[in-house]
Amino acid sequence: AQSVTQLDSHVSVSEGTPVLLRCNYSSSYSPSLFWYVQHPNKGLQLLLKYTSAATLVKGINGFEAEFKKSETSFHLTKPSAHMSDAAEYFCVVSDRTGNNRKLIWGLGTSLAVNP
């Protein structure tokens, strides 16, 4: 069975400093991995996805993530945090059993950006 673990429930950074949100996954096959962002009172938005192509994936708003099979990790990074990045971030792995492609979600990491 697939699972995903977000290693930090809360991360706080200063504006302009780098962001690192950590995610480890468990999968019995080559997974599809995603990062979603959820701003307060807004819907979930896909930041980026990994689907067995390039291991370094670039997403929206300057975010990127690197798939590291040897470490079973898919950490999300951004060189310089902006106030608008404050939100809840979810690491997600796809369960690809036949046509049933449900998403398995981490518990989320709350990112705070301080001025």
Catalog residues that contact other proteins under the rule CB under 8 A: 32, 34, 36, 42-46, 49, 51, 90, 94, 96-97, 99-108
Cβ of residue 96: shortest distance to other proteins, in angstroms? 8
Q: Which is nearer to other proteins, 36 or 75 (CB)?
A: 36
Q: Which is nearer to other proteins, 69 or 101 (CB)?
A: 101
Q: Which two tokens stand for residue 113?
A: 């950006």
Q: Left (φ > 0), alpha (ψ -120 to 50) or beta: where does 47 sit?
A: alpha
Q: Which is nearer to other proteins, 100 or 115 (CB)?
A: 100
Q: Which is nearer to other proteins, 34 or 67 (CB)?
A: 34
Q: Which two tokens stand for residue 96?
A: 């690809």
How many whole angstroms separate alpha carbon 29 and alpha carbon 26?
A: 9
How many whole angstroms separate alpha carbon 1 and alpha carbon 22?
A: 20
Cβ of residue 26: shortest distance to other proteins, in angstroms? 16
Task: Work out the burial of residue 64: count CB atoms within 10 Å of its CB; fewer than 13 is exposed, 13-18 middle, 19 or more buried.
Answer: middle
Cβ of residue 10: shortest distance to other proteins, in angstroms? 11
Dihedrals phi, psi of 62, to nearest 5 degrees: 80, 5
Cβ of residue 99: shortest distance to other proteins, in angstroms? 6
